Structure 1
Amino acid sequence: MSSGYVELIRLPSARRLIYALSSATISYGMVQLTLLLVVHKATGSYPISGVAVGAFAVCAGLSAPPRGRLVDRKGAHPWLPVMSVLYTVALVALDIAASLTSVAWPLIALCGAVGAVMPPLFASARSVWPQAVPPDLVRRGYAVTSLLGDIGWVAGPALASALFLGPWWIAPLVSAVTCLIAATLSTPQRDPTRAAMRPEPMPRLRESRGLLALLLVGVAFGTGTGIVQVATPTIAGHTGHGSLGGPLLALFALGSVTGAVWFGSRDSEGSSFARFLQTSVILGVLIVPVCLTSSLPVLAVTLFVAGIAFGPATVSIFEALDHLAPRAGTEALTWMTTAEGCGAAGGASLAGYLVVHVGGWSAFTIASVLFVVPAGLAILMHAGTRRRRAALQN
């Protein structure tokens, strides 16, 4: 580990933030599979369970920006604890309802309620880094945030699955408790050398072309990611190796962790938005081998290598939001995650059909195009704008 990361971990405010992010990623990493399995235990129907998870995702996505805005403008304390208590109540109510009835609609409604009150713990904790640590350690903090997110992506569902080997009602309680812990730890003491930032409304999209461009590219980026996440296990299952779906996605996450840690240890200059666009293009190029063949060994190597670009892309998004919406960090990230989430939902819906009816190569070809073309066009437009500005100045 580089000296920069050691220096970061030595700070009490950074350690507390890392603990908060760890708890949040465990809670949120396991919640969707937990909801799916709880509703299935009650109803015996995977289609109904899927609708319930869809209700959760829709309500979480629609309510995320308002919840982020509330935390930015009114403060993390007491709103994060209040939301986490409501989140816990909704999960406990779902637990109780699932033990009492197999009727679908109240279970679906409760899953929607879980999403609607889900506290923006990850977004809020991320926005605290510039205030919690010195400027030269902020990128390391963002890299740790990306790393923990990737670990939660893999470990959360695995933990949920393991807990369902015992009494089924335990998993929702674990998700609730880890959320409460994260909310308690998500407001660390600020670095006394850093001035506290006064919250401001997020810039209007029509007044911030950079933020609008970031969100639009984020939709394409999320769509490509959703395709990769669903196409990978679908290819494994379609070739008779369904058990390899999880390990293959874990390789992608491992690559992302590797890339984020390496990128976080570097001191780069220039536009963070441009770095995001560049890493998106690189990611799209790196998955091209799977467009040519869907063999599992090629897929495994490609996913790990492509993940190395995915991690820096995530860190660059965090840095770009600091520049484009410096005093509305929580709301800005919730808008970005909503944009990526909408894209991911569309990509996930498309990926399975493409793999089964066209071929695995088609899904990854579309993902590659989505990573490369929108970001590439944005790079060209940004370069053209810079040339015009330079010409006007001369």
Structure 2
Amino acid sequence: MSASYARVLRIPHARRTFANALLGRLSYSVVPLSVMLAVNRASGSYAVAGAVMALFGATVVFLAPARAALIDRHGPRRALIPLLAAYVLLPALLTAALWRPGAPPVLLGTLTALAGACVPPLGPTMRAVWSRLAQDDKALLQRAYSLDGVAEELLFVSGPLLVGVLVGVAAPTAGIVVGAALMVAGTAGFVRSPAVGAVPPAGPSSVRRDRGRRRVLRRVGRPVGAAAAVGLALGVLDLLVVVFAERHHLGGASVAWVLAALSAGSAAGGMLNGAVNWTLPARTRLALLTACLGLALVGAGLAPGLGTLALVVAGAGFFVSPAITTAYLIADDAVVPEARTLAGAWVNTAVNAGSTAGTAVAGALAGSLPVAVCFAVTGGVVMVAATVSMLHGASRGSAIRERNATTPAG
């Protein structure tokens, strides 16, 4: 435990940079819920609200690698400011359109989708900055990524609580305004940090040589696949917990408690994972963590009641944050420094896409199968993904590092 969390925060400029990044990232959990509530109130239709949010989620998730490539190519300062300007303008237009009921759903969907396409990728950019701040100290970087992951977990718990407070005293559009203000304040402080200013742009030659999105995806295929399996597990858990509560005639509050146990387990696992100096290779750890998550899902299907389910789900959460953190570490090591933002964005995209797919699959299965079977099927899929990750070739990180050391860009 030589590289403690306190040492991470003592790195020059780390606290200021990290705090501003978290402030902006809080917008990620405030704006979507506020938009959904505002669209539902303005349109009077859950179908319209759901369609609008699906468009927003699609552009946020699937265009994340493109936004990350812009960060790598032009540098954080030059790329984040235009993205921020567009992101602030579009929610402002959406707020104006929602001011009175009756706005055309096509207009709402278009504005929301465009806003999602312009979301500043503060998470992947911050992780790329962490890589530079750690200066190739693997233990320090592991703790930095663990701290980052746990903080992000807490943001996605606190964001909806903030929206709940705002909705209690103002219209849902107030949440959109507050979320945009958080993004402005956080991004502005983030780009002014000397640590961010020290990140150089890769330039077009590096893009052609090493940073094409498909080429980077091939290099990080293993952690991306494992991250997608983790996302699948999360998406399934979210829906199957609701189904479990309904079939056991439990109230909606019980669902909140079980999902809170999931977040608590993930936070605890993330902090412990970062505090340990692992001797197992990261590739092996990722496969084992993913397999344990799948096994926990199988166990969740055997839970006789709410209390047992909450304990098992907390145990499943214990492997979530460590698995995602390890996936980021492997992706970071598999590419040259100029492509780290893009590599991390692919992992993040895989988690989100897997979660979306998991929710859809769980919805299809839950209509015709017992909850225990749904949990078992999903757990089996996750364990298969872990096995494939373990067996599919050797890690290429060391070879790539050695090759990069012989090139000017490396």
TM-score (norm 1): 0.89
For residue 112 of structure 1, what is the amino acid of its counterpart? A
Aligned to 1:266: 276
**Equivalent position to 1:290, from 274, 288, 300:** 300
Cα distance, 1:254 vs. partner?
0.9
Name which of 352, 356, 360 aligns with 1:345. 356
Q: After TM superposition, give the deviation of residue 363 of structure 1 in Å.
A: 2.6
What is the percentage of aligned positions where both structures have the same residue? 24
Distance 1:60 1:383, change over 3 A: closer
Distance in 1, matches of 2:52 and 2:294, equals: 32
Q: 2:289 aligns with which of 279, 285, 288?
A: 279
Q: Tell me which of 159, 168, 184 is aligned to 1:180.
A: 184
Distance 1:267 1:203 in 2: 33
TM-fit CA distance, 1:263: 0.9
In the other structure, the counterpart of 1:367 is: 378
Q: C-alpha distance in 1, partners of 2:244/2:254? A: 10
Within-5 A mapping of 1:300-315: 300-315=310-325
The residue identity in structure 1 corresponding to 2:145 is Y
Instruction: Rate the CA distance shift 1:221–1:352 in 2: closer, same or farther, 3 A.
Output: same
The residue number in structure 1 matching 2:227 is 218
Distance 2:161 2:307 in 1: 23
1:95-126 deviations in Å (ceiling 9; x for gaps): 11011342211111111111011111111111
**Residues 266-292 of structure 1: per-residue CA shift (max 9 Å, x gap):** 122353233222210111112322122
User: SS at 1:382's partner residue?
Assistant: coil
What does residue range 66-85 of structure 1 map to in structure 2 within 5 Å?
66-85=66-85
- Aligned partner of 1:390 in structure 2 is none
> What is the rounded CA distance, in whole Å, between the counterparts of 2:346 and 2:21 in structure 1?
19
The alpha-carbon distance between structure 1 residues 368 and 55, as it changes in their structure 2 partners (threshold 3 A), is same
TM-score scaled by structure 2? 0.86
What is the Cα deviation at residue 204 of structure 1? 6.2
Is 2:169 aligned against 1:158? no
Matched letter for residue 251 of structure 1: A
How far did 1:65 drift?
1.1
Alignment pair present for 1:98 and 2:111: no
When residues 384 and 218 of structure 1 are mapped into structure 2, their CA distance, relative to the original with a 3 A threshold, is: closer
Q: Does the Cα contact within 8 Å between 1:124 and 1:330 map onto a contact in 2?
A: yes
Measured in 2, the distance between the counterparts of 1:139 and 1:249 equals 26
- Rounded to whole Å, the distance in 2 between the matches of 1:10 and 1:107 is 45
In 2, the alpha carbon distance for the partners of 1:5 and 1:60 equals 31
2:89 aligned with 1:124, yes or no?
A: no
Are 1:251 and 2:273 counterparts? Answer: no
State the distance in 2 between where 1:222 and 1:178 align. Answer: 26
- How far off is 1:259 after superposition? 0.8
Displacement of 1:208: 7.2
Aligned-residue Cα RMSD (Å) equals: 2.6
Quick check: 2:230–2:354 contact (8 Å CA) kept in 1?
yes
Tell me if the contact between 1:133 and 1:190 (Cα under 8 Å) persists in the aligned partners: no
Cα deviation code 1:46-101 (max 9, x no counterpart): 11100000010111223211111000110100321221221111111111101134
Secondary structure at 2:277's aligned position in 1?
coil
In structure 2, the CA distance between the partners of 1:149 and 1:94, relative to structure 1 (3 Å rule), is same
The alpha-carbon deviation at position 133 of structure 1 amounts to 3.5
How big is the shift at 1:155?
Answer: 1.4
Query: Which range moves more in the overlay, 205-214 or 149-158?
Result: 205-214
| Matching residue of 1:137 | 140
The gaps in structure 2 that reach 5 residues or longer are 397-410
- C-alpha contact (below 8 Å) 1:13/1:191 kept by paired residues: no
Q: Is 1:234 aligned with 2:243?
A: yes
Task: Name the CA distance, whole Å, in 1 between partners of 2:254 and 2:202.
Answer: 48
Mapping for residues 327-346 of structure 1, pairs under 5 Å: 327=337, 328-346=339-357
Q: 2:229 touches 2:354 (CA, 8 Å); kept in 1?
A: yes
What's the offset of the Cα at 1:384? Answer: 12
Cα distance in 1, alignment partners of residues 369 and 88 from structure 2: 43
C-alpha distance in 2, partners of 1:266/1:373? 27
Q: Distance in 2 between matches of 1:257 and 1:380?
A: 29
The Cα offsets for residues 179-202 of structure 1, whole Å up to 9 and x where unpaired, read as 11221233432399x997957443
What secondary structure sits across from 1:214 in the alignment?
helix
- Are the structure 2 counterparts of residues 137 and 112 from structure 1 closer, same or farther at C-alpha, using a change threshold of 3 Å? same
CA distance in 2, matches of 1:143, 1:312: 7
Counterpart of 2:175?
171
CA distance 1:207–1:78, change in 2 (3 Å): closer
Moved more, 271-280 or 62-71: 271-280
Q: Which stretch of the first structure deviates more once superposed, 198-207 or 245-254? A: 198-207
Q: Gapped runs of 5+ residues in structure 1?
A: 386-394
CA distance in 2, matches of 1:5, 1:99: 45
The aligned counterpart of 1:388 is none
Mark the CA change 1:303 to 1:131 in structure 2 (over 3 Å): closer, same or farther.
same
Q: Which runs of 4+ in 1 moved over 6 A?
A: 194-197
